[in-house]
Amino acid sequence: MSKSGSCEPTPGIWSPAQNEPRNIIVKFTNCCLLRNHNIIKDDLWIQAGKIIDPEKLFFRERKLPDKVIDCGGALISPGFIDVQLNGGFGVDFSFDIDTIGEALEKVAQGILAHGVTSFCPTLVSSRKEVYDKALPFLGKKPGGPLGAEVLGAHVEGPFISPGKKGAHDSNVLQKLDNGIQSIIDVYQHVDAIAIITLAPELENAVSVCKELTQRGIIVSVGHSMASIVQGEEAVKNGASFITHLFNAMLPFHHRDPGLVGLLASDQIPQGRTIYYGLIADGIHTHSSTTRIAYRAYPKGIVLVTDACSALGLTDGIHQLGEMAIEVKGMQATIMGTNTLAGSVADMISCITYFWKTTDCTLVEALEAATLHPALLMGIENKKGTLEFETDADFTMLEPNSLDVISTWIAGQCVFQNSQFLPKADLNLK
């Protein structure tokens, strides 16, 4: 099925014209909404890029919608949020640093077809020059017709364990000998960073967790040989995320469950949620493992793609950082090895796999890619829900297959799947 397209040339799809007032009121009808942890039949109202309360609008201002869009029975979900994305469509953020602006735009545009409205471009462990060139381009940027919103960079390494480096280059790994100064010296452009993945067993890692958290940067533990005690110390000092659970960490052991044990730890500060990334592609975790994670700690699941440059492409040789990777079907490995090197899964396929594999509710599957990452990022008052006054970032889905019909950012249609035009009457009334 073709996933390409945009709303700009598609007849019958409304998107605000440049000369049209931003305060016009638009009502989406004949649809179901994911709202308040339920899927309900209701209308969605937007104005000036925000979701609005129609009752307040009618009773206070006596206003009716300026435009009405019939959604043809679509399911409307908040836009998906991917907090770990290395690249896609032939580009890699850690490799294409001389054309990083174009690379970012290509990926931000391409993932609109997957319902993703905001994301964290991710850099694998790299040389200092890579951070110098790439990070200035990967800070926060609003979304729109040119692509999904950038929430800031996710730097995955180089402060990780050599014993669990995965597809990362061991020659560029760093220690935290100088504490927070080591972070500043390597990255320089710290203000562009949203998430840092580090190994909590490294010397000075606990104090670094505390200082980064105080600076508003999310600390994720991963690529690590840490014991559960070391993981707990990191969490007590601010770490709030686990990078791709089960992958690149010690396997679960009944006497020391390692970072996996954080899902059931009784040492987590009261009121804290430990979020964890899950690559639900059927490759990175066995279906039984996926079910174990879901049943053990469902409120912490954050679906991530961890997609590499091969996302959206065919089998062959591609790039992850400075390493060549080989893609066969749904599996990407460092060329000549069996070491996994990111994924080629898109977000909607991860949601679908997770939904069908765990037998969770559709609400839970969608919230793992919307509400949960928004809570992790601390942006739940703006994104991740369809609550009133939040950003009008959403995706229309075919309710049975979950295929993306269209994607919207700030109330503007930024992607339309042409295959659904005959099935969903989105013409204005």
Question: Which residues are the active-site residues?
Answer: 306
Decide the pairing of beta strands 80-85 and 91-92: unpaired
Q: Degrees (nearest 5) of the Cα angle 403, 427, 420?
A: 20
- 288, two tokens: 């039984």
Under DSSP, the state recorded for 79 is P
For 31, 111, 129, 396, 405, the CA distances from 424, given in Å and listed in that order, are 10, 22, 49, 10, 8
Residue 367 half-sphere exposure toward CB, CA atoms < 13 A: 23
Under DSSP, the state recorded for 307 is B
- 414, two tokens: 């930024």
Q: What is the CA radius of gyration of the chain?
A: 21
Q: Which residue has the tokens 């007590």?
A: 236
Under DSSP, the state recorded for 82 is E
Query: 54: which residues sit within 8 A by CB, 6+ positions away?
Result: 27, 43, 45
Q: What are residue 348's phi and psi, to 5 degrees?
A: -70, -35
Nearest to residue 227, comparing CAs of 183, 279, 267?
267
